Structure 1
């Protein structure tokens, strides 16, 4: 299979796989204690008093008002982000939105939200973006993805997942209408792209407050395979580290988004790319394959790569997200 696009990368970002090949990518087995590890982390996150604080409005557009927000996550870390509320009318839906490894400088393309009448919390997970920088956590993706990687208990990715769970707690406290809806059988929706997609796959199995999710070009899928695939994203830092520290494979088993996907029981729409220099498509499709009957697939021509059809692909994905969440109880 030839490259799908002309590019200057020293490797083929399609990795020689056809769609049929990608749909057969396996899912790694869970290590001993995988479920107990994540349930304990989730229970600890639910014990956090998030104490959210909302600042003055920052902008109004696309039928929404955007506010600065902070809340407390595990370890007492104060997380910053944006709170999005409808400019008019009641709140009818709620979302938590993860971000890519580029961080989040503003509400950006996440607004408008997939459904009208929605509220959302858009956190910058610890160490990332302009709102959650920390002196002891690297802010660049290549260093951030290695922070604390020596053990499952210290790896920063676990705390970033907890930041999402605490974002849900903060949102439900800030918007009481959502808390009432949640109690009557409705839940929250989750959206995440790239880094945020991988975090979402790790977060969704354990938190019953989320009743649907959407993951775009999710990372952290099938780590054993990812370690063999060169890329231009944060995975290359992990590959380099692995060459000097092969024992890290045992840590990564607890943070495999494809393995976690096998535990998801709510509907999830995965937008996975056939060509992606930053997040290898085999890993993306491993996440979808792990979902089995819980998953719906939206195929993208490319991820993390501008091409002549990018704008059309983005419009089609936005429509697919809206149609997907309109069918769910969020």
Structure 2
């Protein structure tokens, strides 16, 4: 069943989100503070049974100098390739060295970043929410930008960012914070249009926020969230972007995806999967992104 507005209404929907006046200066200063710390990229070769790909265990200094980890997979013996930086879903992790081989097999350098502290956990939506400077996603989004810096330091000039759900929301944030990305693929992006999401979604993870508001008798979380809303980042983004949405998604309301899509400042396309849920087209949508990225990055490099 549909979980939100009908398709005609979704195309007309516009978010009521209002970006704070100091949104840009807050993020400019946050990234400047992070970049004042040496990136200190390390890439250690990993012995795997894979015959066509090389794998490296990468780490670099993220927010506050904390070590952030990622897998880098590349076609065997190749370097300086266009890169795809991928962020994972809520409570997930980077998996094993021999998982998720699609992008490297397609000819890209593929950096799969692990979101700090999230292996199998929850409760991150409210962590540090009392103040924008302490909010959990300030660190996460900064780490994500530093991941782009890291893959460039390893030799990739052209970089795209991708993700599903939380990963899609992180990719949107990076698109708004890094001005010269080559492309963006955001499947069912989480962390967008918070007020709308909390009004219409009754499932986790958004219910972490509604429960926090109810338990603490406070609704003053929105000033903090306004600095981390994907709609705000979308309005700053200029790289070509491919969005996708499943109209039966009961985790990320489709209207919140459209809210970010309509605010996106760069060239954009939306794949609507009427009978998909949170997978937002899944492998069929991945085919669209692979074809687009092949034309955009590989053929032009």
Q: How far is 1:61 from its partner?
A: 4.5
Please say if 1:172 is aligned against 2:190.
Answer: no
Check the 8 A contact 1:193/1:216 in 2, yes or no.
yes
Deviation per CA, 1:117-159, whole angstroms, max 9, x where unpaired?
3112211121123xxxxxxxxx622x11211111111101111
- Are 1:290 and 2:263 matched, yes or no? yes
State TM-score, norm by structure 1: 0.81
TM-score, normalised with respect to structure 2 = 0.89
Contact 2:75/2:104 (CA < 8 Å) preserved in 1?
Answer: no
SS in 2 for 1:196: helix
Distance 1:293 1:279, change over 3 A: same
The Cα offsets for residues 77-132 of structure 1, whole Å up to 9 and x where unpaired, read as 11122111212444421121111013122357642107733112211121123xxx
Query: 2:177, 2:233 within 8 Å by CA — same for their partners in 1?
Result: no
Unaligned runs of 5+ in 1: 5-13, 130-138
Number of aligned pairs? 293
Residues 187, 243 of structure 2: 8 Å contact kept: yes
Task: From the superposition, tell whether residues 106 and 231 of structure 1 become closer, same or farther in structure 2 (CA, over 3 Å).
Answer: farther
User: Which residues in structure 2 correspond to 1:6-155 (within 5 Å)?
Assistant: 14-15=3-4, 17-27=5-15, 28-57=17-46, 59=48, 61=50, 63-104=52-93, 105-106=95-96, 110-113=100-103, 116-129=106-119, 140-141=121-122, 143-155=123-135
* Preserved CA contact (<8 Å) 1:217 1:303: no
Q: Does 1:258 align with 2:258?
A: no
* C-alpha deviation, 1:288, in angstroms: 1.2
Partner secondary structure for residue 23 of structure 1: helix
- Tell whether the 8 Å contact from 1:54 to 1:67 is kept in structure 2 after alignment: yes
Mapped contact 1:213–1:266 kept (Cα < 8 A):
yes
Given that residues 85 and 91 in structure 1 are in contact (C-alpha distance below 8 angstroms), is that contact kept between their aligned partners in structure 2? no
**1:214-250 per-position Cα deviation (integer Å, ceiling 9, x unaligned):** 1011011111111212332211101211232201111
Residue 276 of structure 2 corresponds to: 302
CA RMSD of aligned residues (A): 2.3
3-state secondary structure, aligned to 1:95: strand
For structure 2, list consecutive stretches of 5 or more residues without a partner in the other structure. none
Deviation at 1:314, TM superposition (A): 2.8
Could you tell me whether the CA contact under 8 Å between 1:64 and 1:112 is conserved in 2?
A: no
- Contact 1:99–1:192 (CA under 8 A) maintained in structure 2: yes
CA 1:20–1:46 in 2, change beyond 3 Å: closer, same or farther? Answer: farther
Match of 1:159 in 2: 139
Misfit runs of 4+, over 4 Å: none
For 1:199, the equivalent position in structure 2 comes to 170
